[in-house]
């Protein structure tokens, strides 16, 4: 029985809802048109402002280098965060109290600290270090901040994935002589990662977007390069719009990939269930 908080609307109620939806959409469109018309009237979106976007120098010296820097920081952060997240996720599922407590402190600590604060702290620490080249400090600060935060999130995904597995998986592994640690690594972890793979890919979208915070530590990622282009060509708004479109395209591709993985995983699971032989009842 599914209790309802309110009764289903009747014909008049449905008409009112449709009218309210139409009015809401029209108000949003009118507000958007008003904003665009105001910006165009002030010359912010004039055709002359868009001309530098379509030149080779703009993409060669501003947008493409920024995109490469963004993807490089995001890719390294994904690798480090995934490896550290798996380790911390296994630690949170460990039977050893000391390991479980240390992993819990790590996850809860870095999940509660904003990414920007970790980037700024890492940049201040690395830039003043005598063992690290100051020119590499922004890149390392961005990667370190993204790794610490997202590894704590991925650790929770791994822990919840392992906890959500049927107990029969662990019991069967123990029955064939595996230790609890080996069962967790060789039996439970692969299944948990496969089940949580769409969530892992969705986390890539967050990592990619958070690289935009790198401009505060002077990392030449896409957003910083777009702002630099806008300052150079006096077309800040068009440059930011182009950067936003690039982010939207990449993030939408990652989101579609996550949906495809989820659909493929559910189809494969359904196929395995369909291929299982029917149980034969044996009379007693």
Residue pLDDT, tens place only, 180-235: 777 777 788 888 777 777 788 888 888 999 999 998 999 999 999 999 999 888 88
Return contacts of 76-79, CB within 8 angstroms, 24+ apart.
76/143, 77/142, 77/143, 77/146, 77/147, 77/150, 77/207, 77/211, 78/150, 78/204, 78/207
Q: Which residues of the chain have a pLDDT value below 70?
A: 1-7, 35-44, 265-284
- pLDDT for 279 equals 43
Which helix (H) or strand (E) covers residue 28, if one does? Answer: helix 11-41
CA distances from residue 208 to 78, 179, 239, 255, 262 in whole angstroms, order as listed: 9, 39, 19, 12, 20
**Res 36: pLDDT:** 67
Handedness of CA 257, 258, 263, 269 (dihedral sign): positive
Domain boundaries, the chain: 57-259
Report residue 37 as tokens.
């018309």
Provide the mean pLDDT of the chain.
Answer: 83
Residue 218 backbone zone (phi > 0: left; psi -120 to 50: alpha; other: beta):
left
The CATH fold of domain 57-259: MetI-like fold (1.10.3720)
Tell me the angle at which helices 189-210 and 236-275 cross, rounded to the nearest 10 degrees: 170
């Amino acid at each position: 029985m599914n209790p309802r908080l309110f009764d289903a609307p009747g014909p008049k109620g449905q008409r009112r809802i449709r009218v309210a939806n139409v009015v809401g959409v029209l108000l949003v469109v009118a507000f958007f048109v008003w904003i665009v018309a105001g910006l165009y009237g002030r010359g912010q979106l004039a055709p002359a402002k868009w001309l530098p976007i379509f030149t080779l120098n703009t993409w060669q010296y501003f947008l493409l280098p920024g995109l490469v820097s963004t993807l490089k920081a995001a890719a390294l952060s994904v690798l480090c965060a995934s490896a550290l997240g798996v380790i911390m996720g296994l630690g949170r599922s460990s039977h050893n109290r000391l390991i479980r407590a240390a992993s819990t402190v790590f996850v809860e600590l870095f999940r509660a600290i904003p990414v920007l604060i970790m980037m700024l702290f890492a940049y201040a620490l690395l830039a003043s270090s005598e063992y690290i080249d100051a020119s590499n400090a922004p890149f390392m600060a961005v990667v370190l901040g993204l790794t610490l935060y997202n590894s704590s999130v991925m650790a929770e995904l791994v822990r919840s994935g392992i906890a959500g597995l049927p107990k029969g998986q662990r019991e069967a592994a123990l029955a064939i002589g595996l230790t609890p640690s080996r069962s967790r690594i060789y039996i439970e972890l692969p299944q948990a990662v496969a089940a949580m793979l769409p969530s892992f890919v969705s986390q890539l979208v967050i990592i990619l977007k958070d690289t935009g915070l790198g401009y505060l530590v002077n990392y030449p990622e896409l957003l910083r390069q777009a702002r630099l282009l806008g300052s150079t060509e006096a077309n800040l708004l068009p440059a930011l719009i182009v950067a936003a479109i690039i982010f939207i395209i990449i993030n939408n591709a990652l989101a579609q990939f996550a949906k495809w993985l989820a659909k493929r995983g559910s189809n494969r699971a359904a196929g395995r269930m369909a291929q299982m032989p029917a149980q034969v009842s044996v009379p007693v």
